[in-house]
């Protein structure tokens, strides 16, 4: 994806003006090349802001305002200009969460390609594009029919009508399936800064309209039926996120075709809910929390992640690890459970509950359940850690701040246990609560230094 100077300047201006909450809108772009030979390229042309949301929520309805904007900018009416989605993660990292993935899969059903661009205040972007694949499978063969016919008659006689009469017929059968897959896009953007009076007028207009209507819905850290990170659309409950890593490999759906009922649930409304586990509530806290330690954090002088300088209560971590591994929220660290023996057999035990993980549907059900289970555990209050942080840094902390510490310490506890597929699934889920770079770029920063700051 190429973001030219004028579009990048507009994005930076908007992130500067709306830096504490999320915003979203319609992205206008051109496309050229082929995905098969690596020449595919998306070039951003413009975007139109549709909503100013909250710290973790943004929603807008398709309206005639987009058409009006296009009429005011006739170049957007030209052939070859397509529409996608752009939205911000404000102070959070940009990656395709379960919500964003569901957006791609749902919108990708209605168009040949759907492009989504996620931006943030730090100027780090993530983009993806879908394609709708139709697969036709044809089976051909020859069937040989052999016929014998007879009947009994008087005096136990048997009259033969047909003996080993054979006949061959050629048969064929065609099966057609359609599914959506998506790919991450490398981003090339200009680094500029300009003023946009038109954007300022649009922001003021949105704020004025919102003041006359109902307030924005507040974010509730709970999952809808079916799992996922929240509701992409007002009545649409999502499934397990397909890909949440910053670098997006190709997404290949399950063997079953995509559900045709998704389109019926969209109702022309786009909603983006960012998981609270990635939400930084206080921008000042993010920038100043570890003042004096930034030089040792990374080459980019970013603040050291909290999970690398603080530790959760050891007994709490052991209790949560037991609960993560057993699936029980009533077991604690004083249990007589032989945790190593449990890990060695837990795969078989969970397969008895969910079915063989060789079946993708069973594995998916397990992962959906695990996502909710882990969320409950990482948001467990650690009062001693909360008190220590408040005393050390002079500001209020809550479980959204300590979740990454608990997740990080749980991973370290689990890594010392025997190998297990289910254990690795738990670790993978826990890693979604860690800041970008932890376990990679920051790994060396913790070597030989596990004590809290």
CATH number at residue 107: 3.40.140.10
Q: What is the pLDDT of residue 442?
A: 44
> Cβ contacts of residue 33 below 8 Å, gap of 6+?
39, 40, 41
Arithmetic mean of pLDDT, 130-141:
91
- Within a domain: 64: yes
Higher pLDDT residue, 271 or 78? 78
Higher pLDDT residue, 3 or 443? 3
336 and 399 assigned to the same domain: yes
Q: What is the pLDDT of residue 225?
A: 33
Euclidean distance between the first and final Cα of the chain, in Å?
41
16 and 117 assigned to the same domain: yes
Distance separating alpha carbons of residues 294 and 334, to the nearest angstrom: 39
> Cβ contacts of residue 384 below 8 Å, gap of 6+?
313
End residue of a domain, out of 256, 278, 300: 278
- Of all residues in the chain, the percent with pLDDT exceeding 70 is 74
- Within a domain: 399: yes
| Lowest-confidence segment of 136-140, 213-217, 278-282 by average pLDDT | 278-282
> Cβ contacts of residue 335 below 8 Å, gap of 6+?
322
| Lowest-confidence segment of 23-37, 274-288, 316-330, 369-383 by average pLDDT | 274-288
248 and 306 assigned to the same domain: no
User: How many Å is the Cα radius of gyration of the chain?
Assistant: 28
What residues make up the domain containing 146? Answer: 134-177
Domain count, the chain: 3
- Within a domain: 321: yes
State yes or no: pLDDT of 302 exceeds 90. no
CB 129 within 8 A of CB 47: no
Higher pLDDT residue, 18 or 447? 18
229 and 303 assigned to the same domain: no
Arithmetic mean of pLDDT, 143-166:
90
- Of all residues in the chain, the percent with pLDDT exceeding 90 is 38
Kindly report the pTM of this predicted structure: 0.43
- Coil, strand or helix at 31: strand
CB 371 within 8 A of CB 227: yes
402-446 residue pLDDT tens: 899 999 999 999 999 999 999 999 999 999 999 877 765 444 344
65 and 76 assigned to the same domain: yes
Q: What is the pLDDT of residue 152?
A: 92
Q: What is the pLDDT of residue 150?
A: 92
Q: Residue 292 region, left (φ>0) first, then alpha (ψ -120 to 50), else beta?
A: left
Q: What is the pLDDT of residue 125?
A: 93
- Within a domain: 453: no
370-384 residue pLDDT tens: 999 999 999 988 888
State yes or no: pLDDT of 349 exceeds 50. yes
- Within a domain: 209: yes
CB 22 within 8 A of CB 57: yes
Helix, strand, coil percentages in the chain from 3-state DSSP, rounded to 5: 35, 25, 40
Distance separating alpha carbons of residues 207 and 32, to the nearest angstrom: 37
Distance separating alpha carbons of residues 54 and 427, to the nearest angstrom: 30
Q: Extract long-range pairs of 158-164: CB within 8 Å, 24+ residues apart.
A: none
Q: What is the pLDDT of residue 11?
A: 93
State yes or no: pLDDT of 316 exceeds 50. yes
Higher pLDDT residue, 285 or 79? 79
CB 92 within 8 A of CB 280: yes
Q: What is the pLDDT of residue 213?
A: 57
> Cβ contacts of residue 435 below 8 Å, gap of 6+?
93, 305, 307, 404
267 and 334 assigned to the same domain: no
Per residue in 296-317, is it b (16+ CB within 10 Å) or e — as a string?
ebeeeebbbbbbbbbbbbeebb
State yes or no: pLDDT of 332 exceeds 50. yes
64 and 111 assigned to the same domain: yes
End residue of a domain, out of 233, 256, 278: 278
End residue of a domain, out of 212, 246, 278: 278
- Within a domain: 451: no
119 and 173 assigned to the same domain: no
Distance separating alpha carbons of residues 401 and 306, to the nearest angstrom: 8
Q: What is the mean pLDDT of the chain?
A: 76
232 and 356 assigned to the same domain: no
- Within a domain: 272: yes
State yes or no: pLDDT of 92 exceeds 90. no
Single out the residue of 121, 169, 129 nearest to residue 145, CA to CA: 169
State yes or no: pLDDT of 31 exceeds 90. yes
Distance separating alpha carbons of residues 233 and 340, to the nearest angstrom: 43
215 and 241 assigned to the same domain: yes
Alpha helices in 262-417 (DSSP H): 262-266, 283-288, 314-326, 339-354, 360-378, 383-393, 399-415
92 and 232 assigned to the same domain: yes
232 and 308 assigned to the same domain: no
- Within a domain: 60: yes
The two structure tokens encoding residue 200:
């300022």
Arithmetic mean of pLDDT, 390-397:
74
Higher pLDDT residue, 453 or 340? 340
Q: Residue 187 region, left (φ>0) first, then alpha (ψ -120 to 50), else beta?
A: beta
State yes or no: pLDDT of 220 exceeds 70. no
Q: Extract long-range pairs of 194-198: CB within 8 Å, 24+ residues apart.
A: 194/6, 194/9, 194/10, 194/13, 195/13, 196/9, 196/10, 196/13, 196/14
Distance separating alpha carbons of residues 10 and 28, to the nearest angstrom: 13
Distance separating alpha carbons of residues 374 and 46, to the nearest angstrom: 40
Q: What is the pLDDT of residue 437?
A: 73
32-79 residue pLDDT tens: 999 999 899 999 999 999 988 887 777 777 778 888 899 899 999 999
Single out the residue of 359, 360, 370, 128 nearest to residue 251, CA to CA: 128
Residues in the chain: 453
């Amino acid at each position: 994806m190429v973001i030219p100077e004028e579009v990048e300047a507009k994005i930076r201006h908007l992130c500067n003006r709306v830096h504490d909450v999320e915003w979203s809108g319609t992205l206008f772009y051109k496309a050229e090349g082929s995905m098969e030979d690596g020449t595919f390229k998306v070039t951003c042309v413009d975007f139109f802001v549709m909503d100013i949301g909250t710290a973790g929520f943004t929603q807008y309805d398709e309206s005639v305002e987009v058409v009006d904007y296009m009429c005011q900018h006739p170049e957007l009416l030209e052939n070859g200009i397509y529409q996608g989605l752009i939205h911000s993660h404000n102070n959070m990292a940009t990656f395709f969460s379960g919500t964003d993935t569901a957006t791609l899969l749902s919108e990708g059903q209605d168009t040949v390609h759907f492009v989504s661009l996620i931006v943030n205040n730090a100027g780090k972007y993530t983009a993806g594009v879908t394609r709708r694949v139709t697969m036709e499978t044809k089976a051909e063969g020859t069937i040989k029919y052999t016929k014998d016919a007879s009947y009994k008659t008087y005096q136990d006689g048997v009259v033969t009508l047909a003996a080993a009469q054979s006949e061959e017929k050629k048969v064929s059968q065609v099966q057609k399936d359609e599914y959506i897959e998506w790919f991450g896009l490398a981003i090339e953007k200009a680094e500029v800064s300009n003023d946009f009076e038109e954007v300022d007028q649009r922001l003021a207009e949105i704020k004025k309209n919102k003041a006359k209507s109902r307030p924005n819905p507040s974010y509730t850290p709970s999952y809808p039926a079916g799992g996922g990170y929240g509701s992409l659309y007002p009545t649409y409950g999502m499934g397990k996120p397909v890909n949440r890593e910053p670098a997006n490999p190709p997404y290949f759906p399950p063997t079953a075709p995509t559900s045709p009922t998704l389109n019926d649930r969209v109702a022309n409304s786009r909603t983006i809910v960012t998981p609270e586990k990635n939400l930084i509530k206080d921008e000042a806290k993010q920038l100043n929390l570890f003042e004096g330690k930034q030089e040792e954090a990374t080459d980019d002088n970013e603040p050291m992640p909290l999970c690398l300088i603080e530790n959760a209560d050891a007994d709490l971590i052991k209790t949560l690890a037991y609960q993560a591994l057993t699936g029980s929220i009533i077991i604690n660290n004083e249990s007589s459970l032989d945790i190593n023996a449990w890990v060695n057999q837990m795969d078989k035990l969970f397969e008895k509950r969910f079915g063989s993980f060789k079946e993708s549907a069973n594995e998916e059900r397990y992962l959906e359940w695990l996502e909710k289970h882990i969320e409950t555990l990482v948001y467990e209050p650690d009062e001693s850690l909360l008190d220590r942080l408040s005393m050390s840094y002079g500001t209020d902390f809550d479980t959204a701040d300590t979740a990454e510490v608990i997740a990080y310490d749980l991973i370290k506890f689990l890594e010392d246990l025997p190998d297990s597929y289910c254990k690795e699934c738990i670790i993978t889920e826990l890693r979604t609560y860690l800041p970008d770079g932890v376990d990679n770029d920051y790994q060396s920063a913790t070597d030989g230094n596990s004590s809290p700051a």
